[in-house]
Amino acid sequence: MGSLMSCISGQAPSASPPPVAKRRSSVSSRRGGGGGGAKAVAIDEEALAAAAALVLGQRSSFGGGGGGGGGAFERSASVRYAARRQQQQQGPPLPRSSSTRPRSLADPELHPQQLLAKDLNTKDLETNIIVLVHGGGFGAWCWYKTIALLEDSGFRVNAIDLTGSGIHSYDTNKISSLTQYAEPLTSYLKSLGDNEKVILVGHDFGGACISYAMEMFPSKVAKAVFLCAAMLKNGHSTLDMFQQQMDTNGTLQRAQEFVYSNGKEQPPTAINIEKSLLKDLLFNQSPSKDVSLASVSMRPIPFAPVLEKLVLTEEKYGSVRRFYVETTEDNAIPLHLQQGMCDMNPPEKVLRLKGSDHAPFFSKPQALHKTLVEIATMPPVKAS
C-alpha cells in the first residue's frame, strides 16, 4: 500500500455537483499504453496493481450526452406485439428475442402475489419503502426488473442515481470523496419525515455508500441489505477489502482501464471495464439483452471514493440490522470473498442466490425479489 498511497496522495479539488453539467469527454489510458516516461509508467503499474483488486464493473459508453435512463423498460417489441399480430391474422407471430433464455428452476417465473403471503399487507410492515443503490459504474436503470416486481407487490421503491452515475450529469472525474459520490442518497434520507424509515439495498460499491448513509442516518434505516456488495469494517476502504480479490484467471487485470483526466503524472480519476469483457466478468449468467443494456449505459467509477476509509461506529452503523445476499456464480466478487466479509463483519443473516452472477437483478430477478420480500417481512427485533 505504501507505493500506491504515494502515487495517489494528491487529491482532486473538491467540487460540489452543479444541478446541470454537460458530460465530459475524457481520455482513458490502457495498461501498457504509449509514452509518458518511466515515472508515468511506474504510476500506471502501481495504480493498476492496487486497483486490479477492485470489482466495480464500469464502462464509459456515453459518447457525449444522453442518459442511462431510469425507471422500468418495456419488453422487447417481438414479445409485446406478437399477440396483437396473431389476433389481426397478419401471419405468424414475431419470434421471441434470441436473448430470451429458458427459465431455470432456481429462478421460477412467479407472479408477485405468489411471492408474498396472501394475507400480507405491506402497509403493516415496519416500512414498505425500499431504496435501491446501484454499484460502481451502474445506475438506477439496472434495477428495472426489481422495481417493477417490488411495486407490483405493494412496496414503494426509490432507485437512486449516485453522483456521476446513470442520468446524473456530473463529471465522474471530478468526484473527490465518498461524501460527494453518495450525496443523492444522503439528500434523500435527509428529506424523510421524522418517523419514516427505509430499507437500503446496496449492490457492489453501493455497499460502501449505504454503510456511509447508515452512519449518518441510523434512525432512518430499518434494515440494510448488502447484495454481493462491499460490507466494510470501521477504518477500511473499498480498496482495502478488494485487495483480497486475486483474479487468478487474469480477466479483471485485462479488463481494467484507468482514466487520467489530470494527466498521467497524477493518480487515476476513474476506472472503466473493457466493453468486450463485461459479460465474462459481470454478466456471465445474465440474458444477452441485459448485457447489451449495460454495455451502452454503464459509466466510469470515480477512483477517489474507492480509496476512502470509512468511519463506522457501533452506536450508529452498528445499530442498523444488516443482511448479506451472496451470489454463487459471481466472477467479480467471488463467493469466497463475500463469505470472508461476512466472517469479518457478521450480519444478522446471510441469504444466497444460487446460480446468480454479479448482477442478480438481471440473472435472477425473481429469486432476488423473493429474497428482498423475505427480508422486508422479518419483524422488528424486540428490545430486551
What string of DSSP letters covers 130-148?
Answer: EEEE--TT--GGGGHHHHH
Q: Is 248 exposed, middle or buried (0-12, 13-18, 19+ CB in 10 A)?
A: exposed
Longest alpha-carbon distance in the chain = 71
330 catalytic per annotation = yes
Catalytic residue, candidates 204, 240, 290, 357:
204
Q: Which amino acid is at 30?
A: R
Catalytic residue, candidates 134, 168, 203, 358:
358
Task: Please state the length of the chain.
Answer: 384
343 catalytic per annotation = no
Report the run of H or E that residue 367 belongs to, with start and end. Answer: helix 365-376
3-state DSSP assignment of residue 377? coil
Catalytic residue, candidates 107, 247, 330, 357:
330
**Residue that the C-alpha cell 400480507 belongs to:** 120
**Residue that the C-alpha cell 480509496 belongs to:** 307
**Residue that the C-alpha cell 460490507 belongs to:** 231
In terms of Cα–Cα distance, which of 140, 146, 199 is closest to 164? Answer: 140
Q: How far apart are CA 190 and CA 186, in angstroms?
A: 6
152 catalytic per annotation = no
**Residue that the C-alpha cell 435472477 belongs to:** 364
Cβ atoms 213, 312 nearer than 8 A? no
Q: Which residues pair with 199 in a beta bridge?
A: 130, 223
- Active-site positions read 204, 330, 358
